[in-house]
């Protein structure tokens, strides 16, 4: 990725002039952060399942070719106003739906944590998912989302990344102590079943940070494509490593019973997992503001020319978060939210739009590696969108929201004294007629 980087809005000029202009803008705007903080912002945004970091670098290259500094202005310069509107809709919907999914996770996860407090009635409304969603919104996510500079979230993202490491340790521990006692579903180890395309949608949702990459890029001191490429590679390397461990350990433990929210698989009386749920809830709360930044920026660019007064900044933030909260109170199944957001919003933002912009802007020969990759990514995105949407609607993921898994209610099933045989579990499975997500 040895592309001679420069800030997209700066026209070609000498390196010294370019440096002086960047330093001047840095002093004027005050929107800078250390490279380490940018790494944690990107990791915090994409940690989950998988990513193609090539398209992130492709976006910045396209911006440099077009002389733009936002995703929306890049598409506007490339495909005109219709492309700008379509991109704005996608760029708004993805983080907005992500905010809804984060609220669902927060309510589901922290409600189970509070239920483990001695003497607390599990039916108490004050520990229910609805109350927790509202409380976490008012106390945490709304105040954090009111920041105007994303660079201020660098330390928060660092905390989120550290907590993710603790959660990973708990998941790894449970694959050893719990995994051997959960029966493996039929054909559990067959690779790439027909519904694998649904997983691509979920991974697209989890891995995307294209919608906020320009925010992080502009927060760097002296931003260049070369520096951005380094940050992206470091960030994605960390994220892919953590994601592979999460995915492998989760599936090894529960195979076909694995839920959209992995913590739905663990029993409520597991104190170690309860601590993990707490860390998970905090991580999600700290990730939420990054998505709110993007939704607010899209509205600001479309309706206010990119500049919001302090009053409108507060009003728009409150409105966005209020609507997201109300919707999340009405939806309780995470899987379908992730799938639809992945195939309808994340896939075009990752695969289609960056490739299309670069192919139209670049004057490189057709045999250039960037153009070849773009030609591969674009049809992949189209297939993921079409097939993924059909499968998400016709074959939705199984959802056991708010219910204990069948193995948690069996006699002798204890994390301190696990002694259930495979025969006992499969017999109980046939009695309960548990549906298996194929």
Task: Reduce the DSSP state of residue 208 to 3 states and report it.
Answer: coil
Residue 41 in this model has a pLDDT that exceeds 80 = no
Band of the pLDDT at 205, cuts 50, 70, 90? low
User: How large is the average pLDDT for residues 74-93?
Assistant: 92
Nearest-CA neighbor of 331 among 150, 37, 130? 130
pLDDT at 399: 64
Give me the CATH topology for the region 31-432. Hydantoin permease (1.10.4160)
Instruction: Give per-residue pLDDT as tens, 98-122.
Output: 899 999 989 988 998 998 888 888 7
**Residues constituting the chain:** 438
- Residues in Cβ contact with 371 at an 8 Å cutoff, skipping those fewer than 6 apart: 358, 359, 362, 364, 365
Task: Please name the residue that has the structure tokens 């960037």.
Answer: 370
Band of the pLDDT at 142, cuts 50, 70, 90? very high
- Residues in Cβ contact with 415 at an 8 Å cutoff, skipping those fewer than 6 apart: 177, 178, 267, 269, 270, 272
In Å, the largest CA–CA distance within the chain is: 75
pTM, full prediction: 0.71
Instruction: Give per-residue pLDDT as tens, 317-329.
Output: 999 999 999 999 9
pLDDT at 334: 75
Range from 37-41, 274-278, 425-429 carrying the lowest mean pLDDT:
425-429
Q: Between 423 and 285, where is the model more confident?
A: 285
- Residues in Cβ contact with 57 at an 8 Å cutoff, skipping those fewer than 6 apart: 1, 3, 225, 228, 229, 232
Residue 134 in this model has a pLDDT that exceeds 70 = yes
Residue 8 in this model has a pLDDT that exceeds 70 = no
**Cβ-count burial of 276 within 10 angstroms (0-12 exposed, 13-18 middle, 19+ buried)?**
buried
pLDDT at 150: 74
Beta-bridged to residue 33, according to DSSP, are 220
Task: Please name the residue that has the structure tokens 């933002």.
Answer: 349
Task: Reduce the DSSP state of residue 220 to 3 states and report it.
Answer: strand
- Residues in Cβ contact with 283 at an 8 Å cutoff, skipping those fewer than 6 apart: 160, 163, 164, 167
Task: Please name the residue that has the structure tokens 């109300």.
Answer: 326
User: How large is the average pLDDT for residues 156-182?
Assistant: 88
Q: Between 54 and 41, where is the model more confident?
A: 54
**Helices marked H in 305-409 — which ranges?**
310-330, 334-341, 347, 353-361, 369-394
């Amino acid at each position: 990725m040895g592309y001679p980087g420069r800030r997209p809005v700066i026209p070609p000029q000498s390196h010294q002039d370019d440096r002086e202009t960047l330093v001047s803008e840095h002093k004027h705007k005050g929107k800078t952060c250390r490279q380490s903080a940018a790494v944690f912002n990107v990791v915090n945004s994409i940690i989950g399942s998988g990513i193609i970091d090539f398209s992130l670098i492709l976006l910045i290259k396209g911006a440099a070719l077009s002389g733009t500094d936002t995703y929306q202005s890049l598409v506007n310069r490339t495909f005109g106003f219709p492309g700008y509107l379509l991109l704005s809709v996608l760029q708004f919907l993805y983080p907005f739906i992500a905010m809804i999914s984060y609220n669902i996770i927060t309510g589901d996860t922290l409600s189970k944590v509070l239920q483990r407090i001695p003497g607390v009635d599990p039916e108490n409304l004050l520990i229910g998912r609805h109350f927790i969603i509202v409380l976490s919104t008012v106390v945490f996510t709304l105040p954090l989302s009111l920041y105007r500079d994303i660079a201020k979230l660098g330390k928060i993202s660092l905390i989120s990344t550290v907590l993710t490491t603790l959660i990973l340790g708990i998941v790894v521990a449970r694959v050893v102590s719990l995994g051997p006692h959960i029966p493996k579903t039929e054909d559990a180890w067959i690779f790439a079943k027909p519904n694998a395309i649904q997983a691509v949608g979920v991974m697209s949702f989890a891995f995307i940070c294209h919608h906020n990459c320009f925010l992080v890029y502009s927060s760097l001191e002296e931003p260049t494509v070369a520096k951005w490429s380094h940050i992206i590679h470091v960030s994605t390397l960390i994220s892919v490593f953590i994601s592979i461990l999460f995915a492998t350990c989760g599936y090894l433990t529960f195979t076909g019973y694995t839920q959209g929210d992995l913590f739905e698989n663990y029993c409520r009386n597991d104190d170690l997992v309860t601590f993990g749920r707490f860390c998970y809830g905090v991580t999600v709360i700290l990730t939420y503001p990054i998505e709110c930044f993007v939704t607010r920026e899209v509205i600001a660019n479309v309706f206010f020319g990119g500049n919001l007064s302090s009053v409108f900044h507060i009003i728009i933030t409150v409105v966005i978060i209020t609507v997201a909260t109300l919707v999340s109170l009405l939806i309780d199944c995470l899987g379908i939210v992730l799938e639809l957001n992945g195939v309808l919003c994340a896939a075009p933002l990752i695969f289609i739009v960056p490739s299309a912009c670069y192919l139209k802007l670049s004057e490189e020969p057709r045999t250039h590696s960037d153009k070849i990759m773009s030609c591969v990514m674009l049809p992949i995105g189209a297939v993921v969108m079409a097939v993924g949407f059909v499968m998400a609607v016709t074959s939705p993921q199984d959802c056991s929201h708010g219910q204990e898994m069948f193995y948690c209610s069996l006699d002798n099933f204890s994390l301190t004294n696990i002694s259930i045989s495979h025969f006992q579990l499969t017999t109980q499975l046939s009695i309960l007629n548990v549906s298996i997500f194929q």
